[in-house]
């Protein structure tokens, strides 16, 4: 009975929402961790799996230490993901969406383990390395959606599909996926194979970069249109609005880093930063697109407006009027 008591705080809507944020942060941290392994030529620092140089306790060489540290961190992420799924599945009153998303995230995290073994066994084949990264992006997006679903559960927020803007929001997310995939192809054709002795490449770097740049341009244009549309009409919650405002500067930063690294011979430090920001852009875009495609329902907006007015009456003793946290469909203001 001790374990359920220890887990009781995170089985509540508020506690589970905090747990999903911790899991989300770990899902993001593992991305630059894996990138550092590849970009420091430590991909085969541990030539065997799951042990490293035949042991699990006395890793001493630099490349082996970097690779094995990433393995340990990946294990921690996997354990936390599974724990989040177990807690979300058995949390009293948890919505079906929360349970399904927690299961999907745990499956993605678990699938990284055998895929990591395949990557090592294949001698760091570019497609295996790329698949490893893309699966991390799927897990990250699932963690974002789970965190949002947990937040909605905590706040009693109901969502509905917005047919008008949902198509464009989905298009932005799809364009972001294309950017990620073409970025993986650029990496597969580039100089950073993951190990000094691995010379395997896949594709032509210049051609892959041209396709990637064009995909990034389409994605950026669609994102700007979506943000402008939301600014004009409103109708999204405050968190979604903030994510959309954050997305544009992040995209600009990512473009600048990409231009710098390409023109300077792809230094590994710049590539690590590029991958790190790419994961952050992807997480922000996934959350913003979801919030636009599925805005909060009218009943939640009315409830938030009433709650705000009651708070103001209590604080000042007079009936004050102020916009709620959720913008009305006619609003043009984004906090």
pLDDT tens across 204-237, in order?
777 888 888 899 999 999 999 999 998 888 888 8
Give the pLDDT of residue 126: 75
Tell me, letter by letter, the H, E, C secondary structure of the chain: CHHHHHHHHHHCHHHHHHHHHHHHHHHHHHHHHHHHHHHCCCCCCCCCCCCECCECCCCCCHHHHHHHHHHHHHHHHHHHHHHHHHHHHHCCCCCHHHHHHHHHHHHHHHHHHHHHHHHHHCCCCHHHHHHHHHHHHHHHHHHHHHHHHHHHHHHCCCECCCHHHHHHHHHHHHHHHHHHHHHHHHHHHCCCCCCCCCCCCCCCHHHHHHHHHHHHHHHHHHHHHHHHHHHHHCCCCHHHHHHHHHHHHHHHHHHHHHHHHHHCCCCHHHHHHHHHHHHHHHHHHHHHHHHHHCCECHHHHHHHHHHHHHHHHHHHCCCCCCCCCCCCCCCCCCC
Range with the largest mean pLDDT of 4-8, 268-272, 321-325: 268-272
Residues 6+ apart with CB under 8 A from 18: 10
Respond yes or no on whether the N-terminal peptide bond of residue 35 is cis (omega within 30° of 0): no
Q: Phi and psi (nearest 5°) for 204?
A: -105, 130
Give the pLDDT of residue 332: 37
Give the pLDDT of residue 331: 41
Q: Does 318 score more than 60 pLDDT?
A: no
pLDDT tens digit string along 92-125? 889 999 999 999 999 999 888 888 778 777 766 7
Radius of gyration of the chain (CA): 22
Give the pLDDT of residue 66: 83
Give the pLDDT of residue 212: 86
> What is this structure's pTM?
0.81
Residues 6+ apart with CB under 8 A from 316: none
Residues 6+ apart with CB under 8 A from 55: none
């Amino acid at each position: 009975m001790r374990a359920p008591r220890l887990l009781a705080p995170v089985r509540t809507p508020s506690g589970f929402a905090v747990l999903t944020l911790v899991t989300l942060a770990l899902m993001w941290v593992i991305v630059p961790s894996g990138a550092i392994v590849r970009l420091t030529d430590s991909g085969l620092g541990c030539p065997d799996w799951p042990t490293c140089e035949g042991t699990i306790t006395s890793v001493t060489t630099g490349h082996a230490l970097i690779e094995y540290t990433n393995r340990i961190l990946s294990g921690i992420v996997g354990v936390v993901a599974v724990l989040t799924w177990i807690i979300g599945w058995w949390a009293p009153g948890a919505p079906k969406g929360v349970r399904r998303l927690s299961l999907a995230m745990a499956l993605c995290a678990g699938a990284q383990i055998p895929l990591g073994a395949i990557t090592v066994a294949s001698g760091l084949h570019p497609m295996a390395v790329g698949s490893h990264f893309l699966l991390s992006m799927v897990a990250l997006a699932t963690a974002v959606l789970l965190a949002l679903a947990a937040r909605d559960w905590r706040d009693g927020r109901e969502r509905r599909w917005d047919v008008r803007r949902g198509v464009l929001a989905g298009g932005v997310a799809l364009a972001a996926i294309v950017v990620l995939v073409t970025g993986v192809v650029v990496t597969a054709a580039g100089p950073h194979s993951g190990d000094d002795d691995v010379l395997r490449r896949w594709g032509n770097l210049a051609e892959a970069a041209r396709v990637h740049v064009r995909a990034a341009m389409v994605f950026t244009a669609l994102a700007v249109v979506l943000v402008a549309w939301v600014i004009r009409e409103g109708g999204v919650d405050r968190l979604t609005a903030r994510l959309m405002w954050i997305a544009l500067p992040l995209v600009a930063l990512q473009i600048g880093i990409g231009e710098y690294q390409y023109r300077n011979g792809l230094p590994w430090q710049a590539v690590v930063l590029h991958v790190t920001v790419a994961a952050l852009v992807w997480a922000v875009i996934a959350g913003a697109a979801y919030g636009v495609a599925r805005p909060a329902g009218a009943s939640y907006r009315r409830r938030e407006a009433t709650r705000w007015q009651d708070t103001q009456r209590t604080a000042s003793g007079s009936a004050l009027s102020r916009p709620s946290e959720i913008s009305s469909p006619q609003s043009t203001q984004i906090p």
